[in-house]
A and B are shown apart, each in its own frame.
Chain A
Amino acid sequence: MIAWILFHLFVFPGMLFTGVLGLLVGWLDRKVSAWFQFRVGPPILQNFNDFFKLLGKETIIVKNAVKPVFIVAPLAGFAVLTLIATIIGLALFYNEGFAGDMFVVMYLTMTFSVMVILGGSSTGNVYSSIGAGREMKLLLADELAFILVFLVPIVKSGYHIQFDQILQYQQLNGAVIGSPSGIIAFIVGILCIQAKMTLPPFHIPEAETEIVEGPFMEYSGPLLAFWKLDHYMMYVIFPFLLVILFMGGFNLTGIGILWAVLKYLAIVVVMIIIKNTNPRIRIDTALNFFWKYASPLAFIGVILAVLGV
């Protein structure tokens, strides 16, 4: 039993699987972005090379930093993402869940942002502090819309708060995305993910040309490698989450495998297209967008779901 739990956490839906798949999908992101700019793009193992190279570099611990927080923040972020990946992967591949696992995932996604804020503000660097502050504002902006997006499948499935029960409902009654409220929530969900992953147009906290990578500016060597790995793991976690909530999960038999891959790649490609066609917006524009447009839209989706549309 314990061995099985450790296997889930460290190998299959958890650490190893998510890390490797995340780095590969990160290569897809870089390659498609290169095609957008009429470039060739990096080779397929580029992200692995980057990761192993960073593991072998010197780690500089900044003199002004709060040392324990500076070191623990990227590792804790990695642990948090591994836990999310395990919970989501168990629901998706094994149809297992526990009461309230949706709320655990909601909390843990927020905890990762808190880790970024802690890591950024522990370095004592001005640009890192600005980045941490922006991350906090972005978290305040997208959190309400993100929770409202979760509410639509909950209401649709008859007020169940477990991933496996939502999947069960969708197997019987068709995917949530087939209804108007589901489509609205899915669109808002993709935008929220873009903000959670700090991809363009919401890469305000780590704006490279403005505040040089923000919270990650002072990190070097293995600690930076873990921040990069965290970023690429989110390319797996959040699309899987949308697949569970709106697309009825994976059916891993026969032709279903092809459908599973297509569902996942469709979400990733939409994210990459949004990333490559939008410039960075200001932090006040992001707050305006989420509080004035995205959250009310998600709220309309919830009302429609309550009405049964």
Chain B
Amino acid sequence: MGWYNKRLSKSLWVFHASGSPCNNCDIEILDLLTPRYDVKRLGIKLVGSVRHADVLLVTGIFNQKIAPRIKRIYEQAPKPIFVVAVGTCVSSGCCFKDSYNITEKREEVIPIDMYIPGCPPKPESMIEAVAKLIGVLNG
């Protein structure tokens, strides 16, 4: 499996699922692909269909309306898939944590492998998270 994990760590294709965000994290994610940060040199590619993805980025709070949809997107993805939660909203609930429509536990909707806190997180911290994920895969 070591050989395969190395291939996987060198070509992580990312699908970006927005669960009712304020779009701030989404803009920062797109910043990663610009020439200044350029994660494509690490083999990371933003794909349009979840069937092609290896990493599922989720942003925003999971309220009762979006949670089943996020769950469905997760089930549509081919395994192995890693779920990375971007932003404070999905990590702790942020200022929406006492809202009436929020789901109690995000981990019961989908299993989340990694949290990136920040409102929004800087592109540098997202690159660090990616590097940690690659480090875990390489053992």
Contacts and interface: CB of A to CB of B under 8 A. Distances in A.
Interface of A: 34, 37-43, 46, 49-50, 52-53, 56-60, 208-209, 212-213, 217-221, 224
Contacts, number: 70
Q: Which of A40, A217, A219, A220 has the most CB of B within 10 A?
A: A220
Interface of B: 4, 7-8, 10-11, 35, 38, 40-41, 43, 47-49, 51-52, 54, 76, 78-80
B137 to A, nearest CB: 11
B35 A56 contact: no
A217 B43 contact: no
B30 to A, nearest CB: 12
B52 A220 contact: yes
Name A's interface SS. loop
Contacts of B54: 53, 57
A224 B54 CA distance: 13
A210 to B, nearest CB: 9
B43 A212 contact: no
Contacts of B38: 39-40
A212 B49 contact: yes
B41 A224 contact: no
A253 B10 CA distance: 39
A106 B24 CA distance: 51
A213 B35 contact: no
Given A60-B51, A213-B52, A42 B4 contact: no
